[in-house]
């Protein structure tokens, strides 16, 4: 990796003055690291170069790229954070300081590890750009894992799979999540990885590429006739996600059919819907597999139209339709989202709701163990969005119940709920909700309060806390009735 490659990548969206600063940061870091080498034997400066390149790929802002180049300087050289602050300013120094703190996370007994993770989540909640640098740093370290002892390889891979990859997904940075997961899969399950890689890469992809090219040609011809500028490519699912599906559904590789999709990239929002109409005019759609994430984006901001059609020979085929901006946001998540907001002159610092949830958990947790448990339970689950009859969207963990939904609306709604209508049909309060469900909560103002048995199925911390809170208050009131004068 060279600084010229980093500059070429950053030049796609950074101006000349910013490029000059990137070169300055490289010279600064290169001078500080000098002849230091990594375990692989290569010069240490290669690591910050790769980190900065990955950050430029996901359209990170200038201070983040500069911090990526400088992130190991204070810890591994005689150059100090104050030197960085004096040369590059407070913002860059703040990011370098944040990533320096995160680099101290080491497995030294479970309690210290939990405390380190707690600090990581809090640093992330303070400034999400810190975790972007950590992702880039971690991804390059994963790519060079082969020089480490096997035990360390597995520890780093397991930590990445449990912590970093889910956070990347929550931030919508799928390009980094997929890469991290596949590398971790390779080190944690080497035999399964080799078998699947052979079946998928050698046997299946050759056959699918011909099929994809056939469909691409048919759709491209029709879009051109309608004068819709476009780009179409085939997207293959990643090995780890295929293996996960095999495990979850107890299926063999040959029984997994949705291993690819065609992406149709167009220029404008209206063109997305025109392209959808054209595809549906060519092949019959499967309406049970249609999702409009443009009209209703996912909680992490993901936007795209997904439709599955019965293609040639009746083969189910998924199309994903989006604009170029939506495509980059789908790959690079919140980083690309900020980039486009800055181009429009908007505020790039809007924090996702789940990050605010981390801060709430931190305020209420009594120990690092409880904090990490709550974060894993509430934050790392797959997120779904559920609607009220008025169209308001509520972001919940996967398989949340109507009771969780009721408490997300208001404590009184949760305490007084007696039943629910899901998509117009009466349903039990323990029914798992699915993405896109419309839920109406039926309440009874005469109801005394929540049922303690609900704790057996609720998924959110808010619902659990409110039910327990009511139970404690109810017990206290009962005691007061029997002990006059007790306050």
The runs of H, that is alpha helices, within 189-238 are: 190-197, 205-225
Q: Which residues neighbour 463 within 8 Å (Cβ) at sequence distance 6 or greater?
A: 401, 403, 404, 406, 407, 414, 454
Q: In angstroms, rounded to a whole number, what is the distance separating the alpha carbons of residues 36 and 41?
A: 9
Residue 179 in this model has a pLDDT that exceeds 50: yes
Say if residue 17 is in the same domain as residue 31. yes
Beta strands 417-422; 425-427: pairing state:
antiparallel
Say if residue 293 is in the same domain as residue 275. yes
Q: Which of 3-7, 198-202, 396-400 has the lowest mean pLDDT?
A: 198-202
Q: Which of 258-267, 379-388, 434-443, 469-478 has the lowest mean pLDDT?
A: 469-478
**pLDDT for the residue 246:** 83
Q: Encode pLDDT of 240-266 as tens digits.
A: 988 888 887 788 877 776 788 899 999
**pLDDT for the residue 232:** 93
**Across residues 328-343, what is the average pLDDT?**
68
Indicate whether 291 belongs to any domain: yes
Indicate whether 372 belongs to any domain: no
Distance of CA 432 to the CA centre of its chain: 22
Last residue of a domain, one of 343, 370, 395: 343
Q: Is the dihedral of CA 348, 329, 238, 377 positive or negative?
A: positive
Indicate whether 174 belongs to any domain: yes
**Across residues 196-220, what is the average pLDDT?**
84
Q: Encode pLDDT of 102-144 as tens digits.
A: 665 554 444 555 555 666 666 666 677 888 898 899 999 999 9
Residue 25 in this model has a pLDDT that exceeds 50: yes
Identify the CATH number of the domain in which residue 412 sits.
3.10.20.30
Say if residue 394 is in the same domain as residue 327. no
**pLDDT for the residue 348:** 46
pLDDT band at 223; cut points 50, 70, 90: very high
Last residue of a domain, one of 124, 157, 188: 188
Say if residue 205 is in the same domain as residue 135. no
Residues 338/421, Cβ–Cβ less than 8 Å: no
**Across residues 60-70, what is the average pLDDT?**
93
Task: Say which residue, 167 or 351, is predicted with more confidence.
Answer: 167
Residue 231 in this model has a pLDDT that exceeds 90: yes
Question: What is the 8-class DSSP label of residue 441?
Answer: E
Q: Encode pLDDT of 360-378 as tens digits.
A: 666 666 666 666 666 655 5
**pLDDT for the residue 195:** 87
Chain-wide mean pLDDT for the chain?
Answer: 82
Indicate whether 410 belongs to any domain: yes
Identify the CATH number of the domain in which residue 281 sits.
3.30.460.10
Indicate whether 366 belongs to any domain: no
pLDDT band at 163; cut points 50, 70, 90: confident
Indicate whether 364 belongs to any domain: no
Residues 205/307, Cβ–Cβ less than 8 Å: no
Indicate whether 18 belongs to any domain: yes
The runs of H, that is alpha helices, within 34-172 are: 46-57, 62-70, 73-76, 81-88, 90-102, 110-126, 128-143, 150-159, 165-170
**pLDDT for the residue 75:** 86
User: Which of 76, 126, 127, 197 is labelled catalytic?
Assistant: 76
**pLDDT for the residue 344:** 57
pTM of the model: 0.70
Task: Say which residue, 259 or 223, is predicted with more confidence.
Answer: 223
Say if residue 301 is in the same domain as residue 319. yes
Identify the CATH number of the domain in which residue 167 sits.
1.10.3210.10
Say if residue 229 is in the same domain as residue 262. yes
What percentage of the chain exceeds 70 in pLDDT? 80
Q: Encode pLDDT of 72-96 as tens digits.
A: 998 888 999 999 999 999 999 989 9
pLDDT band at 486; cut points 50, 70, 90: very low
Say if residue 161 is in the same domain as residue 196. no
User: Which of 42, 75, 82, 203 is labelled catalytic?
Assistant: 75
Say if residue 183 is in the same domain as residue 195. no
Q: Which of 121-135, 271-285, 373-387, 445-459 has the lowest mean pLDDT?
A: 373-387
Full residue range of the structural domain in which residue 321 is found: 190-343
**Across residues 274-293, what is the average pLDDT?**
92
**Across residues 344-366, what is the average pLDDT?**
59
Say if residue 139 is in the same domain as residue 122. yes
**pLDDT for the residue 128:** 78
Look at the chain and report how many structural domains it folds into. 3
What percentage of the chain exceeds 90 in pLDDT? 38
**Across residues 1-27, what is the average pLDDT?**
92
Whether 75 is catalytic is: yes
Indicate whether 446 belongs to any domain: yes
Helix axes 205-225, 269-282, angle to 10 degrees: 110
Residue 441 in this model has a pLDDT that exceeds 90: yes
**pLDDT for the residue 125:** 63
Say if residue 214 is in the same domain as residue 298. yes
**Across residues 135-160, what is the average pLDDT?**
90
**pLDDT for the residue 341:** 59
pLDDT band at 41; cut points 50, 70, 90: confident
Whether 76 is catalytic is: yes
């Amino acid at each position: 990796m060279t600084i010229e490659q980093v500059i070429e990548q950053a030049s796609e969206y950074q101006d000349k003055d910013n490029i000059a600063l990137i070169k300055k940061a490289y010279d600064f870091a290169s001078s500080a690291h000098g002849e230091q080498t990594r375990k692989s034997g290569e010069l240490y400066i290669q690591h910050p170069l790769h980190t900065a390149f990955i950050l430029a790929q996901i359209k990170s802002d200038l201070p983040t790229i500069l911090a990526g180049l400088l992130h190991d300087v204070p810890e591994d050289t005689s150059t100090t954070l104050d030197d960085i602050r004096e040369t590059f300013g407070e913002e860059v120094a703040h990011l370098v300081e944040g990533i320096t703190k995160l680099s101290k996370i080491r497995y030294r007994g479970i309690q210290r590890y939990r405390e380190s993770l707690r600090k990581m989540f809090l640093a992330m909640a303070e400034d999400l750009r810190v975790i972007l640098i950590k992702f880039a740093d971690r991804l390059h370290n994963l790519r060079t894992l082969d020089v480490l002892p096997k035990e360390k390889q597995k520890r780093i891979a397991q930590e990445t799979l449990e912590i970093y990859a889910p956070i990347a997904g929550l931030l919508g940075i799928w390009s980094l999540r997929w890469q991290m997961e596949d590398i971790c899969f390779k080190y944690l399950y080497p035999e399964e990885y080799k078998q699947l890689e052979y079946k998928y890469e050698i046997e299946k992809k050759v056959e699918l590429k011909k099929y994809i090219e056939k469909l691409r040609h048919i759709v491209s011809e029709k879009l051109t006739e309608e004068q819709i500028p476009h780009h179409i490519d085939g997207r293959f699912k990643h090995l780890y996600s295929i293996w996960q599906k095999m495990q979850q559904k107890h299926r063999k590789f040959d029984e997994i059919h949705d291993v690819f999709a065609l992406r149709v990239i167009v220029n404008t929002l209206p063109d997305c819907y025109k392209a959808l109409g054209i595809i549906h005019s060519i092949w019959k759609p499967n309406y049970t597999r249609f999702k409009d994430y443009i009209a209703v984006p996912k909680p992490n901001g993901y936007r795209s139209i997904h439709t599955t059609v019965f293609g040639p020979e009746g083969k189910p085929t998924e199309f994903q339709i989006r604009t170029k901006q939506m495509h980059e946001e789908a790959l690079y998540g919140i980083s690309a989202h900020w980039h486009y907001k800055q181009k429009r002159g908007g505020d790039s610092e809007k924090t996702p709701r789940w990050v605010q949830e981390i801060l709430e958990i931190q305020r209420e947790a009594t120990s690092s163990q409880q904090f990490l448990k709550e974060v894993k339970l509430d934050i790392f689950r797959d997120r779904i969005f559920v609607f009220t009859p008025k169209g308001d969207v509520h972001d919940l963990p996967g398989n949340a119940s109507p009771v969780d939904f009721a408490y997300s609306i208001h404590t009184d709604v949760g305490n007084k709920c007696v039943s629910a209508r899901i998509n117009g049909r009466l349903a039990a309060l323990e029914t798992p909700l699915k993405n896109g469900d419309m839920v109406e909560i039926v309440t009874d103002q005469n109801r005394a309060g929540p049922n303690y048995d609900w704790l057996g199925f609720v998924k959110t911390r808010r619902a659990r806390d409110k039910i327990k809170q009511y139970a404690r208050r109810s017990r206290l009131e009962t005691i007061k009735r029997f002990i006059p004068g007790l306050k």
